[in-house]
Amino acid sequence: MCDNDGMQHAGAERPILFLDIDGVLVVASSVERADGSWWPTVDLVADAAALVARLADAFDIHWCTRWGHSANLDLAPQLGLPTLPVVELDRPDTQWTKLPAVMEAAGSRAVAWIDDDLGHDEWSWAEHRREPTLLVQTEMTEGMTERDCEELLAFAESLRT
């Protein structure tokens, strides 16, 4: 992968993957009941544990979610993950966007970020960043797919060549 200056990056340091939960690993939907009413449900994405395990082989995963440190307590064990670093989103500058905290956590490393809520500012940051950066936006009712996982893995692999 080449950065925005055309420089080649060897894979000495694994890229960071900023991993959101809601809309990525956990999705909300509705189920129709026998009486015709709808009942909201919240489910873990099918194959979430397998997808994240594959990504953990290629990335240093950091939780990037409003769940904060509870992601390590409530979700990591279900996914077979160890305690992961958490991007701190309880700061005044992250009330409406995760971007300031992501920028700080990313530093000068190559990063990928998977989230269901990426706006203009996030895309602009990624485009103008010197280091290799990939954003993957999921559909909040579908969450992470095999295709998303393959795109992330291809990005990580491109950094090694």
Assess if residue 9 is contained within a domain.
no
Residue 3 is predicted with a pLDDT of 38
Assess if residue 6 is contained within a domain.
no
Residue 117 is predicted with a pLDDT of 95
Q: What is the average per-residue pLDDT within 23-43?
A: 82
Assess if residue 49 is contained within a domain.
yes
**Rounded Cα–Cα distance for residues 145 and 92 (Å):** 32
CB atoms inside a 10 Å sphere around CB 147? 9
Grouping H, G, I as helix, E, B as strand and the rest as coil, residue 58 is coil
**Residue, of 5 and 133, whose pLDDT is higher:** 133
Q: What is the pTM of this model?
A: 0.86
Assess if residue 101 is contained within a domain.
yes
How many domains is the chain partitioned into structurally? 1
Give the chain's radius of gyration (CA, Å). Answer: 16
Burial (0-12, 13-18, 19+ Cβ within 10 Å), 76: middle
Q: Any idea which of 5-9, 37-41, 111-115, 124-128 has the lowest mean pLDDT?
A: 5-9
CATH number of residue 88's parent domain: 3.40.50
Task: pLDDT band for 4, please (50, 70, 90 cuts).
Answer: very low
Grouping H, G, I as helix, E, B as strand and the rest as coil, residue 161 is coil
Assess if residue 10 is contained within a domain.
no
Range of the domain at 23: 16-159
Q: 95 near 66, Cβ under 8 Å?
A: no
